Structure 1
């Protein structure tokens, strides 16, 4: 027997109302998710999308000597699920005072800057992070090519900053 105080739903109306509620809930969740992510990124302000440790760079570029003020990324950061045997590192690092003068005395340098502005997906955090109005020079002697790795180094005369991009920097 049916209870008298319960009214049977009108044909299909209850189902439509539940579907609308589910869609509204999903829409609200999709709206809140990006806001939550953005707030989390602001809260983690100290944690950047780049590395600041210089030890790996000193191993990759031993001729540059001790390094400071590093901002660099790796093609293996935030792995996108596509495994690659090749490692690319890219970024900026500052030389110790007097090191650029030492390098320019020992190697031939020419004027010339990078041709791209961090075009790879993993390099995006570095856009706008370099020195203002750089006066780039480079030495083809210091760029390494061969046996599975290559390096491109650009030096800013004013700040002693090095912009680098290296494929398989550890050989």
Structure 2
């Protein structure tokens, strides 16, 4: 009996192996992180946010929420699309001046780490809840921050649908 005990892992050994396996799994999930691949293509953004017109100098992420979770949730997955883009010259001021949108100073909330290097320095962000509704057509959650001096936009949306996807 003692000979078997020396070769087979005991209860503590099995628990230790289980903890090591769990930590290894967490490590590989953390490496995937929330969309480490910063994208620079503008076509997907222009399709989803046509009111901005042509965009340039885009830096954005699109990732499934819960990617860092140890156990994926079954069913539909929410996709967060967040980042920055350059509007055409004067577009930021034109958007703010048009209509009764009541833009107020407001900075974007915490953004994913990979976007930190692309965050415009010295931006004076403004936001309007009514403009958010215009942009999303009230079909999905989203916030849009504008810096009229630099014509930059910061967007943070959940499941943004293309304009052609909207139900009349």
TM-score (norm. length: structure 1): 0.58
Contact 2:87 2:153 in 1 (8 A): no
> 2:106 aligned with 1:113, yes or no?
yes
Q: Which of 1 and 2 has greater Rg?
A: 1
1:106, 1:158 → 2: CA distance?
16
Cα separation, partners in 2 of 1:48 and 1:113, compared to 1, 3 Å: same
Q: Is 1:64 equivalent to 2:52 in the alignment? A: yes
CA distance in 1, matches of 2:23, 2:73: 26
Alignment length (residue pairs) = 149
- Take 2:122 and 2:7, find their aligned partners in 1: how far apart are those partners? 59
Answer with 76-85 or 23-32: which moved more: 23-32
Name the residue aligned to 2:4: 15
Identify if the C-alpha distance between structure 1 residues 97 and 147 changes in structure 2 by more than 3 Å, giving closer, same or farther: closer
- Structure 2 vs 1, CA of residues 17 and 131 (structure 1 numbering), >3 Å: closer, same or farther? farther
Q: What residue is the counterpart of 2:92 in the other structure?
A: 100
CA contact (8 A) 2:96 2:103 kept: no
| Higher RCO, 1 vs 2 (CA within 8 Å, ≥6 residues apart) | 2
Q: CA offsets, 1:10-40, max 9 Å, x none?
A: xx33222223599499489649947x849xx
Tell whether 2:131 aligns with 1:142.
yes
Sort the Cα spacing of 1:15 and 1:73 in 2 relative to 1 into closer, same or farther, 3 A.
same
User: Following the alignment from structure 1 to structure 2, what is the Cα–Cα distance between the partners of residues 151 and 32?
Assistant: 35
Q: Does the 8 A contact of 2:144 with 2:153 survive in 1?
A: yes
| TM-score, normalised via structure 2 length | 0.59
What's the RMSD between the two structures over aligned residues? 4.3
Contact 2:81 2:160 (C-alpha < 8 Å) held by counterparts: no
Higher helix share: 2
* Structure 1 residue 153: Cα displacement: 0.7
Unaligned runs of 5+ in 2: none
